[in-house]
Amino acid sequence: MSSSSSSSSDGMEGDMIGAFQAEYEEAMLNEEAEPRRPRRRREFIRRDRLGAHDRLFEMSDSPMYTQLQHDLIEHVWANAYIAVDMVGRARSRRGGAMAGGAWAWLLLLCCCGGGSWTQQRQIFAAATTDANDLTVLNALFTSMNSPGQLRGWQVNGGDPCGESWQGITCSGSAVTAIKLPSLGLSGTLAYNMNTMGSLVELDMSQNNLGGGQQIPYNLPNKKLQRLNLAGNQFTGNVPYSISTMPKLQYLNINHNQLQGNMTDIFPNLPSLTTVDLSFNSLTGDLPQSFTSLTSLKTLYLQNNQFTGSINALANLPLSDL
């Protein structure tokens, strides 16, 4: 912008500020002279999630109420409402006279806080998602090769709870469920999923995850109740980290490529009611820790290569085997 254009803009802004100040002072004096006269000022207050105030001062019956003045006044109240409160307090102390010093503070704050009066004001909204959960979901999106079919998901940043990312359920700022079944997803799970402290359900079933790799060890464990990784391409053994999920109720890892002897992963899972290990290549004896599953109702073990005794199942309250 040329210097002449800048000077012209500054002059116009100065005229508008001066005119607005003069009209406001006149309105307040008239109001004091005629206490019963209907008030001409309306103030609208909106609180956002941070508790900040966005005040719009509107002289609706003023002949100067043009769009330009509207933008100017909105900018003033958005960036300097504290100074306006100072004006009110100063008027009360001085018997109703307009405090010129307060106006100076008001104009100074607006000039320092917003640049040009006509510059578009920026509004910053607080993300509602827990920062750690967001980091995990960003990593998960990356580890699954950034699939385009996941609406809203991003490699960096975003707000899964505030923006309703596909498959994400939240309670307040915490992510409580990730449910992405049958979406043709590839890659694997994120390396840091064990840091999700509020996750109750993880359902990644009927995808193409794993790609010949083991189920990651760092699964969410603190509050997880339902884990469904069925119908993928995971290999290796059943991860021992499942034994660290004290609230787990439902475990389904059928139709993968799991193999080898199972370790004793069940001694500390008293809430587990359903286990589906079917259609894998697991071998050896059933773990003795099955005897600890006192809540187990449903157990599917078919199409594996287990051998030996099934005495570990003898006293379980099974209704479906």
Beta bridge partners of 261: 283
Exposed/middle/buried for 219, CB within 10 Å: 0-12, 13-18, 19+?
buried
What's residue 133's pLDDT? Answer: 97
Q: Cα separation of 110 and 103, whole Å?
A: 11
The more confidently predicted of residues 45 and 1 is 1
Residue 258 has pLDDT above 80, yes or no: yes
Whether the Cβ atoms of residue 189 and residue 209 lie closer than 8 Å to each other: yes
DSSP annotation of 203 reads E
When mean pLDDT is compared over 69-78, 119-128, 179-188, the highest value belongs to 179-188
What's residue 309's pLDDT? Answer: 81
Q: What is the pTM of this model?
A: 0.63
What's residue 29's pLDDT? Answer: 64
Residue 179 has pLDDT above 50, yes or no: yes
Q: What percent of the chain has pLDDT over 70?
A: 60
Whether the Cβ atoms of residue 238 and residue 262 lie closer than 8 Å to each other: yes
Taking residues 263-283, what's their average pLDDT?
95
**DSSP collapsed to 3 states, 113-165:** HHCCCCCCCCCCCCCCCCHHHHHHHHHHHHHCCCCCCCCCCCCCCCCHHHHCC
The more confidently predicted of residues 289 and 9 is 289
Q: Cα separation of 279 and 229, whole Å?
A: 13
Q: Is 193 helix (H, G, I), strand (E, B) or coil?
A: helix
Whether the Cβ atoms of residue 182 and residue 203 lie closer than 8 Å to each other: no
When mean pLDDT is compared over 121-125, 141-145, 266-270, 313-317, the highest value belongs to 141-145
Continuous segment of H or E residues that includes residue 21:
helix 3-33
Residue 247 has pLDDT above 60, yes or no: yes
